[in-house]
Chains A and B, each alone.
Chain A
Amino acid sequence: MESESQTQVEPAAELQSTAEPPSPQQEATRPEPPWRRLHPASILVNLLPHAWRQLRGYWPLLIALFVGSEVTVGRLDLDLVLFLFLFAASQTLIHQLTLRFRVKDGKLEVQDGLLYRRSRILGAERIQSASLLRNPFHRLAGLVEVRIETAGDLRTEGLLSALSVERANELLGELEEIRRQGRSRDEEEDAPPTEEILHEVGLLEILGHGLSSMRAGVFGFLVLVAMEIARQTDPTLAAGLPEQAFNPAFVVGFVFSAFAVGWLLALGGALLSLFRFRLTLQEDLVRAEQGLLTRRRVELGLGRVHVLRIDEPFVRRRMGYGSIFLQTAGIAVGPEGVRAADANIPMIPRARLRELCALFLPGLSLDPWASTRPGAPPFSRAPIRVLLLGLLGASLQSFAAGLVALWLLGPWGLLIACLLWPLLLLGAWLDWSWQTWAVDHHVLISRRGFWSRQTWILPREKVQSMVRIQDPFLRVLGLGRVVVRMASARVVLPIMRWSDAGELLDCAERERPD
C-alpha cells in the first residue's frame, strides 16, 4: 500500500568552531536543549498506514470472518473492523501527543507513551544508519519519517514518524556531527580495486545441493493444507476419503512420495536461488551473486561477519562438500544499494572450508576440523549425563510414535515401533558424540548434530550478551544451556555442566583481544 522512497540525507555542513571548550561552570549553566515534538499533521499522515498495519496483523481473523464458506458478513464483523480502526486511530493520536525528542550530551533522547511511559536514550555512536522515508501521505503534507537504525533492532521504525524536512535534516545533522567526531577519515582515492573470484557453483553442484537439502516435510504440509482447503470448500470430498488411507501399503507409498516430492522441491528451489552463484572479493568487500529469476547481490564487509555457520548434512558431507552461512549485524544502505544482512555460500569442497573460514574471520585460531575424533582437546564434550538425557528423549519419541503406529496400523505398527527404537537410540548417541564446543581468545565454536551437522564460529568481540538457562530437569542433573546472542542471531550451545556454563558467561565480559 505504501510507496516508500528512501533518501539518504546529506548531513549539515560541519561546524567550524574556534572557541575554547566550555568550562565546567559554563557546562553547568548551559541551558537544557528543548524538547521537540512531532508535526501536528502527523495524526493525519500516520492514521491510514498505521490502521492498515493493524488490520494486516489480524489477517487470519479477517479471513475467517470474510472468506469462510458458511459465514456471511454481518454487523458484528463490521463493528470489529471499526473497533480495530478506532484503536489504531487512538494509538496514532497518543503517539502524536506524547512523543518528544531531543539531542542532549551526544545522545538522542526519545520519550513517549501515556499509560505506559517509555524513555529511551540512544548514543549517536550506536547508530548504524539513518534514513528518511516518505510515503504518499508524507509527500502530500510535506513531511518525512526519520528512521534511526541500530544494529539488530527494528523498533525505531515509526518512532519519529512525521517531522518537517527542515527539522529532520537538523536532527540528522546533529547526530552526524557527533558521530563524525569519533570517526577517522581516510580521504585517499585509490585506483579501482581488482576483483578476485573466490568460489563459483556449477549446475552439478547446484543439483547436489538440492539433493542434500531434502524437504520431505514440505510435501506433507502441503497435503494437509490442500485437504483442509478441500474440506472447507467442498465437504463431500472429505467424506470420500478412502479407507485405504490407513492401509500399510498406502502409508509406505505416501512416505516414499513425500521424500521424492521433497527432493524435487529442494532441487527446484536450489536451481532458482543458486543459479550462477559467484563469490568474489574486492579489497575487504565480499560479494555473492545468485539467482535464476530474481538476481540477488549481497555485499558483506569482511569485518562485519558476526556469525559463521558451516552446514554439513550427512549426504552433502559424503559428497565432500559443505556450505557456509554468513550473517552480519543488520542492513546498511549505501551508494551502491542495499547491503543485505547475510549470505549463503553453497557447495564448498571440504578441503577449502578452512581457508574460507579464515578469510571471513581473520582471528580464527581454532580449527574445527583439526581432529576427526569429536570432543578432542581443545574441544569440550558434554558429560555422559547429557547422553542419558538424549537416550531417554529418544525412547520417549519412539514410544509415542509406536502408540500412533499401533493405533493406525495394528501389529504392523508395533513392528515399526520396535525397529524405530534402536535407530533413534543410535541417532541420540551420534548426536551426543558430535556435540562439542571450544572457546579461545578470539572465537567461540559450537558444533551439533550428526545427520544435520552444524558448526557455529562466533567472534567473541561480536558477542552481544549470553544467558545460561536451567529448567528443573537439568537442575537435578547439574546441567544447563547457554544461549549466545549475536546481532540478529541466537546460537544455542550444547547442554553442558552448569559450572561450565558459568565459566563461558565469564568469557563475555572479557573484551576484544589485544
Chain B
Amino acid sequence: MESPTPPSTTAWRQVDPSIVLFWRLGALLRSLFLGLPFIALIAASAAYFVHISLAVVVLALYALLFVVRVFVWPRLTYQRLSFRVGERDLRVASGVIFRQETIIPFSRIQFVDSHQGPIERLFSLARVYVYTASGPAPDGGIPGLRSEEASALRDELAHAHRRDEGDGV
C-alpha cells in the first residue's frame, strides 16, 4: 500500500490553547501540594529562628513565584511553542528563557511515540515524541496536541520516509 503523502506545509503551527489551562492546573497542584508545605516550613523556621519579617519576605516571594508559575509562565510557554512539518523535516521551537529550535530530518526518525496522561485525557490532549538514533532521549517533543491531531501527526511522521527507506542511521 502506498504511504499517504503528508500535506506539504512550511507554516509554523501552534499547539492547542487548552494546554495553557492544563499547565496552569498542573502548576497550581504542584504549588499547593508540594511547594506550599515546603515554603510554610521555611517561613516558620525563619520566623522562629530569625525574625517574623523574614518569614513575611519568604511568603511574599513565594506568592510572586506562584503568580508567575500559575498565570504567566504557561501563557509564555504556549506562545513560544510551535512546530513545522516541512517537506523533509520536522522543526520544533520552544523555550522562554532558554530558547531552542530543533530540526529532525524525516529520514532520521526511528520511531514516534504518543503519550497521554490521565489529566491530559480529560483535556483531550496528548504529547508526541520523536526519536532518532541519537540516543534514548527524544530529539523533539510536542505537547498540547489534540488527541486526534497527535495520532495523525504520529502516523504522518512514522510514514514520512522520503527518499531513503534504509535504517535511518
- Residues on A lying within 8 angstroms of B by beta carbon are 24, 27, 105, 107, 115-123, 125-128, 150-155, 182, 306, 329-330, 462-472, 475, 485-490, 502, 505, 508-509, 511-512
Contacts and interface: CB of A to CB of B under 8 A. Distances in A.
Given A125-B165, A462-B169, A505-B101, A153 B86 contact: no
A471 B99 CA distance: 6
Nearest to A490: B134
A151 B166 contact: no
B118 interface: yes
Given A465-B102, A511-B163, A126 B111 contact: yes
A465 B97 contact: no
Contacts of A509: 86, 88-89, 103, 105
A501 B110 CA distance: 25
Given A119-B114, A153-B110, A471-B97, A487 B133 contact: yes
B132 A119 contact: no
Contacts of A153: 110, 131, 133, 135-136
A24 B102 CA distance: 38
Query: Lowest 4 A-B CB distances belong to which pairs?
Result: A151-B133, A485-B134, A464-B132, A487-B133
Contacts of A470: 98-100
A300 to B, nearest CB: 14
B25 interface: no
A83 B163 CA distance: 51
Given A150-B133, A151-B168, A153-B131, 17 more contacts: A122-B110, A122-B111, A123-B110, A125-B166, A125-B168, A151-B110, A151-B169, A152-B136, A152-B169, A153-B135, A465-B132, A465-B140, A466-B102, A467-B100, A470-B100, A488-B133, A490-B135
B41 to A, nearest CB: 21
Nearest to B120: A116
Contact of B135 (A115, A116, A152): A152
B117 interface: yes
Given A123-B158, A125-B166, A469-B99, A150 B110 contact: yes
B104 interface: yes
A468 B166 CA distance: 27
B105 A508 contact: yes
B100 A121 contact: no
B169 A121 contact: no
Nearest to A306: B169
A485 B158 CA distance: 20
A502 B99 CA distance: 13
A118 B111 CA distance: 12
Given A126-B168, A465-B140, A485-B135, A511 B115 contact: no
A511 B110 contact: no
A105 B1 CA distance: 8
Contacts of B95: 469
A508 B92 CA distance: 14
Given A151-B110, A153-B110, A465 B104 contact: yes
B155 interface: yes
12 contacts: A122-B110, A126-B168, A150-B110, A151-B133, A182-B165, A468-B101, A471-B98, A472-B98, A502-B101, A508-B89, A508-B105, A511-B163
A27 to B, nearest CB: 5
A126 B111 CA distance: 8
Contacts of A469: 95, 98-100
B24 interface: no
B136 A154 contact: yes
Contacts of B100: 467-470
A464 to B, nearest CB: 4
B113 interface: yes
Interface in B135-169: 135-136, 139-140, 154-155, 158, 161-169
B147 to A, nearest CB: 11
Contacts of A119: 113-114, 154
Contacts of A462: 169
B108 A128 contact: no
B124 interface: no
Nearest to B91: A505
B126 to A, nearest CB: 9
Contacts of A505: 101, 103
A353 to B, nearest CB: 26
A152 B108 CA distance: 12
Given A121-B155, A465-B132, A465-B140, A126 B89 contact: no
B107 A511 contact: yes
A505 B139 CA distance: 14
Given A121-B154, A470-B99, A508-B89, A485 B115 contact: no
Contacts of A486: 134
A152 B169 CA distance: 9
B116 interface: yes
A155 B137 CA distance: 9
B112 interface: yes
Contacts of B117: 115-116
Nearest to A122: B111
A466 B161 CA distance: 18
A470 B166 CA distance: 34
B86 to A, nearest CB: 7
